[in-house]
């Protein structure tokens, strides 16, 4: 009756997972992708960002090596080499995403798709009918509209800059802003980070926010809170940003990291009867079903948790529900996250403030210490760890870390939280010595 069982719009983390699994379960699947297979994560998100983070770490390693007896010759950094090598790896990943779809029998349509009605997708002059339509169109950077705003870039362009800038202004206090501040700083730029609030990283634990601000300040990243960019002008050599308090800064590059909005404009969703919220996100139920019973939506276009593993879990659940007789809803509890800033952040569970509101009485354990490596390297940087415990049940309900390998460490602790581990069980676990992670099982004093 229909051309396809499933037509997916968007070949990013969520769309590819749902399409590939649906095809594996025997469905006839097509997927339209207008830009790049793998979506944001593979092309202008997690993966290229982490490669740039790796590149930026070397300056610290070179500095730290002196205390361990090394003499490093003259250093130089070539941005074009980094970007070319990054592009090669991304091209390889694009190929893997294509193969994973076609090997499972899904058809790829490389063009923009829109929805004509509940069962019809339009691509150019072609019309395809489908029993189910999956909207997986992701998000897009949102930028303030100010005079000269077009002179600023977003994270999309940062991955393809022709020249490395020596002075950078980052606007925005979310994780993407902090990560790019760390990348540009580590690669040798003078970086200013401007945020309209009192402190960046809204939603993160207060102690974590303060610890990161202190360490970034120590690294001489110029932090400017409580101000917004009012206008940007082009100068003969660079640009000038003027803030709402009248102050100004000159730089070679200004990057807006001021949030992302669901990519749902002009898709035909409203016409097909799909409800969108005030930010344009597709409104879905726990099964990712929209207000039209055969149109589903997953990932950033639904604005639930803008993370790749979450989009993948949602895509997987849709395929299980529709084509495997196994109705599934993703579990959003205890989703761990990392920020690859300088220093790193890893977090899972509730912040102290959230836990107090939810449980009333909570116990808090904190540790701030100079990591062993820094004693010999001389680096003046501390790591911070925090456990939040529900006093009534003794369950650990929040783990937070600022410091080297925070993301790697917190991933393991996320399993413990998911299993409902108590503080007594943390304490009974023998540590691995000497590591920073062992601090999580040796914190005995309540703060």
Ligand X SMILES: Cc1cc2nc3c(=O)[nH]c(=O)nc-3n(C[C@H](O)[C@H](O)[C@H](O)COP(=O)(O)OP(=O)(O)OC[C@H]3O[C@@H](n4cnc5c(N)ncnc54)[C@H](O)[C@@H]3O)c2cc1C
Q: Which candidate, 309, 310, 339, places its Cα nearest to that of 406?
A: 339
- Pick the closer one to ligand X by CB: 276 or 311: 311
Residue placing its CB nearer to ligand X in the complex, 18 or 421: 18
Residue 138 or 439: which CB sits closer to ligand X? 138
Q: Which pair of structure tokens corresponds to residue 152?
A: 């600023």
The verdict on 409 binding ligand X (CB under 6 A) reads no
The stretch among 136-144, 199-207, 349-357, 371-379 that binds ligand X (CB under 6 A) is 136-144
Q: Specify the residue, 118 or 307, whose C-beta has the smaller distance to ligand X.
A: 307
Binds ligand X by CB under 6 A, chosen from 4, 5, 6, 13: 13
Which of 160, 191, 151 has the alpha carbon at shortest distance from 49? Answer: 160
- 137 touches ligand X by CB under 6 A: yes
Q: Which residues between 316 and 355 bind ligand X (CB under 6 A)?
A: none
d(CA 201, CA 206): 9
Of 119, 185, 265, 433, which residue is the catalytic one? Answer: 433
Name residues whose C-beta falls within 8 Å of residue 157's C-beta, 6 or more positions apart in sequence.
none
Cβ closest to ligand X, residue 76 vs residue 266 = 266
Q: Which residues 43-82 are close enough to bind ligand X by CB under 6 A?
A: 45-46, 49
The answer to whether 407 touches 346, Cβ cutoff 8 Å, is yes
Q: Give the integer Cα–Cα distance in Å for 131 and 119.
A: 6
Q: Smallest gap, in angstroms, from Cβ of residue 3 to ligand X?
A: 17
d(CA 429, CA 442): 9
Q: Helix (H) and strand (E) counts for the chain?
A: 12, 21
Binding map of ligand X across residues 18-37, x = CB under 6 A, - = no contact: --------------xxxxx-
List 21, 25, 39, 387, residue binding ligand X (CB under 6 A): 39
Phi, psi angles (nearest 5°) of residue 189: -85, 160
d(C-alpha 1, C-alpha 69), whole Å: 73
User: Shortest gap between Cβ of 141 and ligand X (angstroms)?
Assistant: 7
Binding-site string for ligand X from residue 231 to residue 270, where x marks contact by CB under 6 A and - marks none: --------------------------------x---x---
Number of residues that bind ligand X (CB under 6 A): 36
Give residue 22's Cα distance to chain centre. 26
Choice from 5, 6, 15, 86 touching ligand X (CB under 6 A): 15
Residue 281 CA to residue 142 CA, distance in Å, equals 14
- Candidate ranges 75-83, 182-190, 297-305, 342-350; the one touching ligand X (CB under 6 A): 297-305
Q: Is residue 307 a contact point for ligand X (CB under 6 A)? A: yes
Tokens of 397: 């309900």
200, burial (CB in 10 Å: exposed 0-12, middle 13-18, buried 19+): buried
Angstrom CA distances, 89 to 17, 46, 81, stand at 20, 13, 13
Rule CB under 6 A: say whether 300 interacts with ligand X: yes
Q: What's the closest the beta carbon of residue 305 comes to ligand X, in angstroms?
A: 8
Q: Where are the alpha helices (DSSP H) in 269-351?
A: 308-323
Separation between Cα atoms, residue 22 and residue 8, nearest integer Å: 10
Instruction: Select the span of 162-170, 191-199, 301-309, 398-406 touching ligand X (CB under 6 A).
Output: 301-309
Which is closer to ligand X, CB of 288 or CB of 374? 288
Distances (CA, A) of 186 to 61, 183, 213, 257, 359: 10, 5, 16, 18, 40
* Distance from C-alpha of 124 to C-alpha of 57, rounded to nearest angstrom: 45
- In angstroms and rounded to an integer, the radius of gyration of the C-alpha atoms of the chain is 24
Write the interaction track for ligand X spanning residues 156-195; mark x where CB under 6 A is met and - where it is not.
--------------------x-------------------
Q: List C-alpha distances in Å: 321 to 50, 131, 383, 393.
A: 33, 14, 43, 35
Catalytic-residue membership of 237: no
CB of 174 to ligand X, least distance (A): 10
Which residue's structure tokens are 């097509």? 30
Q: State which residue, 306 or 377, has the beta carbon closest to ligand X.
A: 306
Among 6, 27, 41, 406, binds ligand X (CB under 6 A): 41
Q: Is 98 in the site for ligand X (CB under 6 A)?
A: no
Q: Does 155 bind ligand X (CB under 6 A)?
A: yes
Residue 136 as a binder of ligand X (CB under 6 A): the answer is yes
By CB under 6 A, tell whether 138 contacts ligand X.
Answer: yes
Active site residues: 433
Contacts with ligand X by CB under 6 A lie at 9-15, 32-36, 39-41, 45-46, 49, 112-113, 136-139, 155, 176, 263, 267, 299-301, 306-309, 311
């Amino acid at each position: 009756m229909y051309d396809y069982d499933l037509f997916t719009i968007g070949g990013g983390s969520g769309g590819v997972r749902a399409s590939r699994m649906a095809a594996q379960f025997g469905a006839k699947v097509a997927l339209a992708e207008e830009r790049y297979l793998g979506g944001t994560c593979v092309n202008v998100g997690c993966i290229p960002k982490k490669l740039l983070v790796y590149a930026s770490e070397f300056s610290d390693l070179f500095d730290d090596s002196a205390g361990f007896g090394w003499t490093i010759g003259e250093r130089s950094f070539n941005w074009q080499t980094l970007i070319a090598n990054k592009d090669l790896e991304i091209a390889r990943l694009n190929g893997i995403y294509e193969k994973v779809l076609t090997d499972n029998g899904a058809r790829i349509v490389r063009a923009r798709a829109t929805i004509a009605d509940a069962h019809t997708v339009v691509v150019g002059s072609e019309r395809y009918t489908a029993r189910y339509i999956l909207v997986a169109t992701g998000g897009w950077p949102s930028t303030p509209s100010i005079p000269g705003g077009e002179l600023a870039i977003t994270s999309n362009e940062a991955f393809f800059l022709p020249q490395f800038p020596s002075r950078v202004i980052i606007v925005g206090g979310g994780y993407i802003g902090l990560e790019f501040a760390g990348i540009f700083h580590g690669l040798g730029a003078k970086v200013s980070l401007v945020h309209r609030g009192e402190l960046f990283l809204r939603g993160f634990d207060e102690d974590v926010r303060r610890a990161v601000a202190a360490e970034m300040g120590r690294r001489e990243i110029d932090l400017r809170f409580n101000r917004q960019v009012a206008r940007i002008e082009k100068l003969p050599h660079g640009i000038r940003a003027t803030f709402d308090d009248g102050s100004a800064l000159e730089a070679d590059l200004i990057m807006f990291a001021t949030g992302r909005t669901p990519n749902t404009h002009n898709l035909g969703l409203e016409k097909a009867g799909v409800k969108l919220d005030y930010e344009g996100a597709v409104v879905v139920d726990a099964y990712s079903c929209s207000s039209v019973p055969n149109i589903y939506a997953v990932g950033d276009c639904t604005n639930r948790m803008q993370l790749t593993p979450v989009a993948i879990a949602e895509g997987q659940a849709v395929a299980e529900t529709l084509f495997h007789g196994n109705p599934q809803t993703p579990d959003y509890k205890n989703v761990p996250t990392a920020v690859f800033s300088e220093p790193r952040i890893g977090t899972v569970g509730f912040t102290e403030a959230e836990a107090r509101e939810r449980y009333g009485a909570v116990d808090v354990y904190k540790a701030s210490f100079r990591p062993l490596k820094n004693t010999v390297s001389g680096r003046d940087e501390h790591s911070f760890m925090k456990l939040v415990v529900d006093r009534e049940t003794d369950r650990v309900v929040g783990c937070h870390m600022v410091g080297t390998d925070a993301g790697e460490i917190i991933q393991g602790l996320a399993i413990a939280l998911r299993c409902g581990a108590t503080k007594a069980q943390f304490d009974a676990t023998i540590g691995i010595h000497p590591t920073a992670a062992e601090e999580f099982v040796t914190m005995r004093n309540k703060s």
